[in-house]
């Protein structure tokens, strides 16, 4: 898919910060055959993260009304919007232009309308039709490098809905082996990094494993442990309904999740089971046979990740009922400081432990926790793009490179474009080119990899209104100094303390004082100007 335009009529959040914003990202008449991310850059508080959140809520609202079995909750009931995009359904020869609107007429509750565009007109679609459902993105994948409440909220709402659905259906009289559909909103944050990494390193190709571990100088996955704990007394027991087939003491599982548990048992090198607490401890030593076992049950890394993720979403059930109800009520009231807390590790339904790697240099065993946050997040981000290699996926990345060193920041977009996947890389016109990606940043590295029409500067005017425009300069290949000056008004691009000192020295008429100051300054254009000022004083005989 490719986003064309987003009109936020009423966002009902952030004090109406984004209300009335109408942004055109691309022209509907251009050719879009390559993966071309969009970058949002600007100062803190300019609305970048809030825009990603609204975009996630736009599709959450649409999914809830069209495919409610995949999105159980609608977090922003009063959201009004209009959005246009191109999408390439699997059975269509050409991309289809789609417009979705959710607007209130005569002060009534907003109604959803989905339309497609032919050569001349917009044509209404049946919201209940499978053909209409094929016009919606397959997944909205959100990523945040920290605890970003803004972007996380719709995804946490989605996760909570899945966990509740599992509990209710596991307890119902209609307890069948039918799987519960995954959510269309998927959040990749620090709590999911091991799900992503282990799935890729077990079922990804040699090239994928090398791409994920190269930056950390690791050779391969060595071993790991995962724990599933279903009865530990942290929450009150769920009352089992008479006639239900479920026999679990506390956390109830659907037949699909019971199947996942059985598969993990069959793939394990060894395991233990505590009947009293219904705790399974699975240990895996990674070799060709282990990978073959996992591959027998799961076709690819995304399927395995989905199994891990469905189990981990049950961690919400390890929270007190009042906590979950408070989160749902606060979400409806748009209280954005509220979020579901993470249970303690020992209380989680599903968690990883003791993830170890083989070092590339010494072949010694390296514990995952010994790696840096940047190494964790780079492997997680790249692994996310490796897994989601099908078309019609929208990535929303909030400051993804914030924990990286400058070298990794410079290489970030290049690494994504060159990633091996089952469907080719993202530089050519392969199937993964039918994806879209929005990235927020406060740094010049990502804009330097993009042409100016892909870069959107967020700022506030004197009235506090959000303004969005392209930079006045060509950003592709521009120096970082140039981009910082254009997007943040920082010139010269050095910190304030040395800048103040240089300004004072430029006013000085004392050559010795200037020489002393120059000696402890790093190289910069401003230092060269100061040296020139010193030469002029010397020429005057001062």
Phi then psi dihedrals of residue 244, to 5 deg: -70, 145
Please return the burial class of 288, using the count of CB atoms within 10 Å of its CB with bins 0-12, 13-18 and 19+: exposed
What gap in Å lies between CA 170 and CA 118, rounded to an integer? 45
pLDDT tens sequence for the chain (542 residues)? 999 999 999 876 566 789 999 999 999 988 888 889 999 999 988 899 999 999 999 999 999 999 999 998 887 888 999 999 999 998 888 899 999 999 987 777 789 999 999 989 999 999 999 999 999 999 999 998 765 567 888 888 888 888 778 777 776 645 555 678 888 999 888 778 889 999 999 999 999 999 999 888 899 999 999 999 988 666 545 444 444 455 677 787 888 889 999 999 999 999 999 998 899 999 999 999 999 999 999 999 999 999 998 898 888 777 766 766 666 666 665 555 455 567 777 788 999 988 999 998 877 899 988 888 888 888 889 999 998 888 899 999 999 988 888 899 999 999 998 888 777 777 777 777 889 999 999 999 999 999 999 999 999 988 888 999 999 999 999 999 899 999 988 876 788 888 889 989 999 999 899 999 998 888 887 888 888 888 888 887 76
Kindly state the tokens that stand for 514. 């200037």
Phi then psi dihedrals of residue 365, to 5 deg: -85, 130
CB 442 within 8 Å of CB 434: no
What gap in Å lies between CA 439 and CA 194, rounded to an integer? 22
* DSSP character string of 298-330: -SSHHHHHHHHHHHHGGGGGGS-HHHHHHHHHH
CB 350 within 8 Å of CB 227: yes
Using the structure block, give the residue that is written with the tokens 């679609």. 125
CB 186 within 8 Å of CB 309: yes
What gap in Å lies between CA 162 and CA 112, rounded to an integer? 23
CB 350 within 8 Å of CB 315: yes
Which of 410, 420, 490 minimizes the C-alpha distance to 445? 410
Q: Give domain limits for the chain.
A: 2-136+389-488, 157-370, 496-539
Which of 244, 256, 246 minimizes the C-alpha distance to 177? 256
Q: How many CB atoms lie within 10 A of CB 121?
A: 8
């Amino acid at each position: 898919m490719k986003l064309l335009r987003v009109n936020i009529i009423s966002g009902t959040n952030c004090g109406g910060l984004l209300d009335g914003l109408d942004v055109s990202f691309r022209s509907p008449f251009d050719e879009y055959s390559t993966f071309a991310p969009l970058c949002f850059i600007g100062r803190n508080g300019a609305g970048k993260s809030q825009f990603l959140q609204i975009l996630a809520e736009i599709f959450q609202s649409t999914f809830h009304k069209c495919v409610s079995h995949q999105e159980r909750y609608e977090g922003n009931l009063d959201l009004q919007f209009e959005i246009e995009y191109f999408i390439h359904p699997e059975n269509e020869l050409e991309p289809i232009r789609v417009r979705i609107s959710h607007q209130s007429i005569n002060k009534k509750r907003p109604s959803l309308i989905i339309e497609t565009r032919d050569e001349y007109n917009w044509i209404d679609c049946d919201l209940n039709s499978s053909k209409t459902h094929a016009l919606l993105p397959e997944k909205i994948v959100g990523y945040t490098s920290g605890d970003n409440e803004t972007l996380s909220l719709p995804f946490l709402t989605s996760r909570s809905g899945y966990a509740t659905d599992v509990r209710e259906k596991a307890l119902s009289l209609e307890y069948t082996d039918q799987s519960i559909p995954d959510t269309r909103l998927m959040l990749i944050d620090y709590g999911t990094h091991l799900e992503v990494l282990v799935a890729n390193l077990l079922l990804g190709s040699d090239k994928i494993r090398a791409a994920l571990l190269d930056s950390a100088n690791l050779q391969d996955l060595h071993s790991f442990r995962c724990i599933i704990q279903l009865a530990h007394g942290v929450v009150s027991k769920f009352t089992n309904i008479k006639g239900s087939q479920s026999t679990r003491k506390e956390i109830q599982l659907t037949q699909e999740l019971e199947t996942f548990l059985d598969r993990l048992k069959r793939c394990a090198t060894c395991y233990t089971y505590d009947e009293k607490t219904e705790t399974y401890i699975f240990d895996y030593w990674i070799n060709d046979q282990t990978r073959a076992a996992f591959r027998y049950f799961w076709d690819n890394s995304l399927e395995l990740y989905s199994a891990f993720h469905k189990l981990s979403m049950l961690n919400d059930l390890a929270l007190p009922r009042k906590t979950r109800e408070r989160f749902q009520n606060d979400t409806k009231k748009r209280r954005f400081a509220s979020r579901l807390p993470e249970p303690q590790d020992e209380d989680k339904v599903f968690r990883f432990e003791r993830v170890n790697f083989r070092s590339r240099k010494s072949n010694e065993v390296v514990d995952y926790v010994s790696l840096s946050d940047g190494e964790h997040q780079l492997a997680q981000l790249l692994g996310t793009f490796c897994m989601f290699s099908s078309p019609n996926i929208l990535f929303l990345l909030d400051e993804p490179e914030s924990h990286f060193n400058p070298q990794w920041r410079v290489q970030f977009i290049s690494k994504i474009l060159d990633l091996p996947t089952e469907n080719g890389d993202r530089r050519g016109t392969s199937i993964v080119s039918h994806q879209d990606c929005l990235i927020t940043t406060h740094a010049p590295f990502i804009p330097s990899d993009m042409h100016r029409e892909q870069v959107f500067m967020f700022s506030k005017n004197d009235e506090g209104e959000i303004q969005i425009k392209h930079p006045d300069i060509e950003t592709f290949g521009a120096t970082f100094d140039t981009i910082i000056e254009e997007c943040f008004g920082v010139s010269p691009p050095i910190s304030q303390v040395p800048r103040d000192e240089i300004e004072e020295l430029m006013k000085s008429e004392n050559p010795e004082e200037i020489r002393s100051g120059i000696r402890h300054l790093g190289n910069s254009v401003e230092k060269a100007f100061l040296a020139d000022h010193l030469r002029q004083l010397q020429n005057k005989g001062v």
